[in-house]
Amino acid sequence: MRISQSRIGSFVVRFLTGCSLICAAASAAAENAAELLARAAQDTALHQTLVAEGRKAAFFCANCHGEAGISKFSNVPNLAGQHPAYLLRQIEAFLSGARKDEFMQGLMKVLNEREKASIVLMYASRPVPPLHPPGPLAADGARLYQQHCARCHLVDAHGSKDFPRLAGQQTDYLKISLRRYLTQSGERFYAPMTAAVTQLGERNIDAVVDYLSSRP
């Protein structure tokens, strides 16, 4: 039986199209989370798609960190408003053991690269309300923050890709984290933070926390 040239041509087109789709899927699967974040920064449609996917992928995160990234527990950090690259670095830090938390490390192991990217973009896109009005220590805290912390965490305390947002953060979490750096308890280690908190002094931690948690 002879096959017409047109049918052969149609078959070749379908075959090549199928190969292209397979190659594209393989390429997407190989793309790591950092590469996805970089593409999403230039592609609004991809960014919106990943944020929507993040709402579903973060279902287990919401149990502690809240669906909108505002924690349900005062000793658990808010993730809302953090820079996506910073959040991704924390995921990788848990996986590598640079941040010590067996529970978080176990959860991070189940995420694929696209889920990592979608979760951090979703939380980064969420607004951050202040936790409470400024308290009696907030004014002193503002001065101390600008003196010891603003160089890295920025004047508005909104952070960057390298340093976390502190504005609107949970009070107990801030106190716990600062004291861990101060005492070098081992959960996290970063020499510049230990130096900054040492200069701040333990007696001034409450004032800085009062200021930060009351900021939008």
75 lies in a domain?
A: yes
Domain encompassing residue 203 = 138-213
Domain boundary at 124, 151, 181, which? Answer: 124
Residue 129 lies in a domain: no
Q: Write out pLDDT tens, residues 53-65.
A: 999 999 999 999 9
CA 125, 129, 134, 135 dihedral sign is negative
Domain with residue 117: its CATH number is 1.10.760.10
Same domain, residue pair 11 and 37? no
- 67 CA to centre of own chain: 14
Write the CA distances from 60 to 56, 108, 116, 120, integer angstroms. Answer: 9, 11, 13, 14
What is the pLDDT averaged over residues 118-123? Answer: 98
- Report the domain count for the chain: 3
Exposed (0-12), middle (13-18) or buried (19+): which is 45, by Cβ within 10 Å? exposed
Does 121 score more than 80 pLDDT?
Answer: yes
CA gap 181, 191 in Å, rounded: 8
pLDDT of residue 48: 98
Amino acid in position 8: I
pLDDT one-digit tens code per residue, 159-193: 999 999 999 999 999 999 999 999 999 887 899 99
20 and 49 fall within a common domain: no
